[in-house]
Amino acid sequence: MPETISSSPASNFIGERRKRVEDVPMLVGAGQYTSDLRFSDMAELAIVRSPHPHARIVRVDTSAALKVPGVIAAFAARDLPEILKPFPGAPRSPEARFVTPTALAAEVVRYVGEAVAVVVAEDVYAARDGADAVVVEYAPLPPVIGVVQDATTPVLHAGWPSNLAQTVQIMTGAGADGLDGADVIIEETLTIGRLSAQPMEPRAAVAVYDQATRQLTVYFATQSVNMAQRSLCALLDLPADRVRVIVPNIGGAFGVKTRLYGEETIAACLAMRLGRPMRWVGDRHEEFTVTNQARAQVHHIRMGLDRAGHILAFVDHFQQDAGAYNITADGPVYNTAVSVHGPYHIPHLAMTGDIILTNSTPTGPYRGAGRPEAAYVMERMLDRAADRLGLDRAEIRQRNLIRPDEMPYDSGIRRQQIPIIFDTGDYPAGFAQVLGAIGYAEFRARQAAARARGVYLGIGVVNSLEMSGIGVSDSAILRVDPAGAVWVMAAVSQMGQGHPTTYAQIAAERLGVPFERIHVIEGDSATGTQGPGTFASRATVAAGTAIARAALQLRQRILAEAARQLDAPIDALDWRGEYITVRAAPVRRVAYGDVAASLGPAGIAVEASGDGNISFGYQGHGVIVAVDPDLLTVAIEQYVIVHDAGNIINPLIVDGQTIGAAVQGLGNVLFEEMRYDSAGLPQATALHRYVLPASIDTPEYTLIEQHFPARANAEGFRGVGEGGTITSLPAIAQAVEDALAPFGVRLNALPLTPQRLFEAVRAAQSQRESAGGMA
């Protein structure tokens, strides 16, 4: 268990450290994932995928597959013209070139794993045998790997002048001209490697079509149930009342299950065409080669400061490797551009992000979605500035932090016309807590003593802000049935965040009914609730505030009925738990259940909209690492997190989200990397080639909570799902570099694998030897 230091006592249901109710079915094996679903006469699908990163499709011959026992049908793109529409989407700027794939490639494949054909069979084994029998003739084309390109680089999409799909620009103050007044300009190139999310549950889809009602139901693990339903309607030319999307349990998502993929569309199309339920279950290899990848940015930065270490200007031109298609890469690029500001004063800012296409798996949102990259480049540049100016790395941060008396602080940034305003908080106090808890003042003596014993310790202390929400509100519906049960419906999907527990706590608090009477329904487009889904640390802010507002309105309607039965004014009543009483005469009471029963056979329902306004919560990390000088492996010795989640609904769940995010960040920094060779082939297509953090790598975390209720919504909520990842990247990188300072290394690229650390140490040694030889 983590050590948690809290200055805010729990009260009632909001603030209660309650265990998650949704864990019980999982613990007893009763959870149901998409791959667990079975329907009568269900067929199985297997996808034929390209082994080439870039090739023209000469022909696809499915005849041999049809001879495989158990195979029902096989289709190439030419056989399914109804699914050859590009995936729905729109560029965020009119000049963007926005190309999305079709569910099956018809003419050209542009990454290893792109779908070319599909086989339908009675069971999955026959489907896979049939897929192996499909003959595809390719004419290989030169692959494009990496964002460093020039006029000789092959262009992936016909009619384009280059592989530059889109450019995102953000500017405040004088932008790059702000460098003119700087005493010191620091220049650096920083790289964040490509990675794969690897949730425990690979993607899967089941589609069922009812011929009698002409109703299509598609089951799959999506973070965005409403967007998925709208996309399926557009792709299949169906009205919304004929398509329903249901989300079973999700075994991890982290952003990569936000978009619609081709397999869901293929399953839906074939269920309608063949009149049978269809199921596709992806495997780990497909998770590595097809599911969105992430990060993959290269930053070229200039930062101007005065001699006292105050930031004057920050200029960053960076490239995002979007993979073969510009599907969802623009989200992380926008987030990087607007989030780099962090909790610091930056009078002049110029961010330019180029989205560049390559022959690799498309990239998109993954826990933090551009925000970890932003924090990494800002914090590492502060390290470089401190070293150049001879300042302590903590001191330079303290000199630049926004003060609490400046709140709310307008950063000058606009995200699609939405102003980026830091609403409340005390960043200097939070950072002071980090420094105190990690023992920063005493560390250098500890470090020196350890080095004398041959132990290389390093410390990292950094700050960041976690942005909650995207400026879009959700709706929620609360319905009381005649038995007194309360049904809470929202347009989100939960994949470990604890929605069934926290949403019930909100409803119980604001409505007044016992927690046990509340049931949460989410991940179903048929609820009729509005909202884009679960991502960007927005679900509690947007859906949670909608639930609170609907609960308050429903409470008034129930109290009105109780007042009628008790012949008393509403404001004379008390309600908590199972009884509603007259305050001045408690013996006059009516049971809540009796009031619910009197509301009619359908009960009553209330729908309300929440607050989708953007809010920012502080997060500071302090970490001490030990680096083995021979093996160049990294062990985390101590880890402190100070975070501000506003009004916390459930501290136990907040702890879990914060720690889980931090562990994922640890993997990003030290282990995980999706590499492609010069031929464009992925080098990791199974877990034994892709290192994820294990329990032995995970430290004990000390969590310290700040409590500054968000001003951006009525409940004071903030999201907490991404802050741990955002801040851990620069914290661990700074600590590792500090540990290896005696070797003179500069670490400018993630991840910090033993191989990369070895190369950095060797490069520093060669540089010293060259300098000595020249002397």
561 lies in a domain?
yes
Which ranges of 35-118 does DSSP label H, i.e. alpha helix?
63-66
**Mean pLDDT confidence for 741-750:** 95
390-399 long-range contacts (CB < 8 A, ≥24 apart) are 391/309, 393/461, 393/734, 394/431, 394/435, 394/440, 394/461, 395/309, 396/309, 397/344, 397/431, 397/461, 397/462, 397/463, 398/428, 398/431, 399/308, 399/309, 399/310
Q: At what angle do helices 371-389 and 393-400 cross, to 10 degrees?
A: 110
What is the DSSP code (8-state) at residue 344? B
CATH number for 590: 3.30.365.10
The strand pair at 475-480 and 486-490 is best described as: antiparallel
Q: How far apart are CA 341 and CA 411, in angstroms?
A: 8
Q: Quick one: 500 and 446 in the same domain?
A: no
CB atoms within 10 A of CB 472: 17
Q: How far apart are CA 720 and CA 658, in angstroms?
A: 6
What pLDDT does 99 receive? 65
What pLDDT does 775 receive? 52
Q: How far apart are CA 594 and CA 579, in angstroms?
A: 9
- CA 767 from chain centre, in angstroms, equals 40
101 lies in a domain?
yes
What pLDDT does 97 receive? 55
What pLDDT does 92 receive? 46
Q: Tens of pLDDT along 69-118? A: 999 999 999 999 988 887 765 444 445 555 678 899 999 999 999 999 99
74 lies in a domain?
yes
What pLDDT does 774 receive? 56
Identify the CA nearest to 312 among candidates 172, 426, 464, 461: 172
224 lies in a domain?
yes
Give the angle subtended at the CA of 219 by the CAs of 213 and 224, to the nearest 5°.
110
**Mean pLDDT confidence for 135-141:** 98
Q: Give the number of residues written for the chain.
A: 775
Q: How far apart are CA 355 and CA 374, in angstroms?
A: 16
Q: How far apart are CA 575 and CA 13, in angstroms?
A: 15
**Mean pLDDT confidence for 582-600:** 93
641 lies in a domain?
yes
Give yes or no for residue 244 having a pLDDT over 50. Answer: yes
What pLDDT does 101 receive? 84
Q: Which carries the bigger pLDDT value, residue 536 or residue 49?
A: 49
Q: Tens of pLDDT along 389-432? A: 999 999 999 999 999 999 999 999 987 788 899 999 999 999 99
SS3 332: helix
217 lies in a domain?
yes
Q: Quick one: 487 and 460 in the same domain?
A: no
Q: Quick one: 502 and 483 in the same domain?
A: yes
Tokens matching residue 565? 């039965």
Q: Tens of pLDDT along 265-322? A: 999 999 999 999 999 999 999 999 999 999 999 999 999 999 999 999 999 999 999 9
Share of the chain above pLDDT 70, in %: 97
10 lies in a domain?
no
What pLDDT does 284 receive? 96
Average of per-residue pLDDT values in the chain: 93
Q: Tens of pLDDT along 10-20? A: 348 999 999 99
Give yes or no for residue 195 having a pLDDT over 80. Answer: yes
Environment class of 184 (CB within 10 Å of its CB; exposed 0-12, middle 13-18, buried 19+): middle
- What are the start-end ranges of the E strands in 481-628? 486-490, 518-522, 573-576, 579-582, 585-591, 604-609, 615-627
Give yes or no for residue 761 having a pLDDT over 70. Answer: yes
Model's pTM, two decimal places? 0.94
Give yes or no for residue 478 having a pLDDT over 70. Answer: yes
Identify the CA nearest to 509 among candidates 647, 606, 658: 647
Domain end marker among 545, 580, 609: 609
Residue 43 CA neighbour count, 13 Å, CB half: 25
Q: Quick one: 552 and 662 in the same domain?
A: no
Give the angle subtended at the CA of 92 by the CAs of 91 and 95, to the nearest 5°.
70
**Mean pLDDT confidence for 475-502:** 94
R_g (Cα) of the chain, nearest Å: 28
- Contact assessment for residue 122 and residue 44, using Cβ atoms and an 8 Å cutoff: yes
Q: Quick one: 753 and 650 in the same domain?
A: yes
Q: Quick one: 662 and 733 in the same domain?
A: yes
pLDDT band at 773 (very low <50, low <70, confident <90, very high): low
- Contact assessment for residue 56 and residue 683, using Cβ atoms and an 8 Å cutoff: no
Q: Quick one: 627 and 717 in the same domain?
A: yes
Report how many domains make up the chain: 3
Give yes or no for residue 772 having a pLDDT over 90. Answer: no
Q: Quick one: 129 and 227 in the same domain?
A: yes
Give yes or no for residue 565 having a pLDDT over 90. Answer: yes
Q: Quick one: 433 and 498 in the same domain?
A: no
What is the DSSP code (8-state) at residue 541? I
What pLDDT does 5 receive? 37
User: What is the maximum alpha-carbon separation in the chain?
Assistant: 98
Task: Please name the residue that has the structure tokens 């009260």.
Answer: 11
What pLDDT does 418 receive? 84
Q: Which residues pair with 280 in a beta bridge?
A: 205
Q: Quick one: 735 and 650 in the same domain?
A: yes
Give yes or no for residue 502 having a pLDDT over 50. Answer: yes
What pLDDT does 7 receive? 34
Q: Which carries the bigger pLDDT value, residue 288 or residue 159?
A: 288
5 lies in a domain?
no
CATH number for 273: 3.90.1170.50
Domain end marker among 257, 281, 305: 281
How much helix, strand and coil, in percent to the nearest 5, is found in the chain? 35, 30, 40
Domain end marker among 281, 311, 342: 281
Give yes or no for residue 475 having a pLDDT over 50. Answer: yes
**Mean pLDDT confidence for 209-217:** 97
Q: Quick one: 697 and 723 in the same domain?
A: yes
**Mean pLDDT confidence for 613-632:** 95
Q: Tens of pLDDT along 312-366? A: 999 999 999 999 998 887 899 999 999 999 999 999 999 999 999 999 999 999 9
- Domain coverage including residue 101: 41-143+203-281
Q: Tens of pLDDT along 631-652? A: 999 999 999 999 999 999 999 9
Q: Quick one: 588 and 719 in the same domain?
A: no
* Least confident among 138-152, 281-295, 405-419, 479-493: 405-419
CA torsion angle 411 413 418 424 (round to 10): -20
Give yes or no for residue 202 having a pLDDT over 50. Answer: yes
- Contact assessment for residue 615 and residue 718, using Cβ atoms and an 8 Å cutoff: yes
DSSP letters for 252-268: --TTTTSS--HHHHHHH
**Mean pLDDT confidence for 583-600:** 93
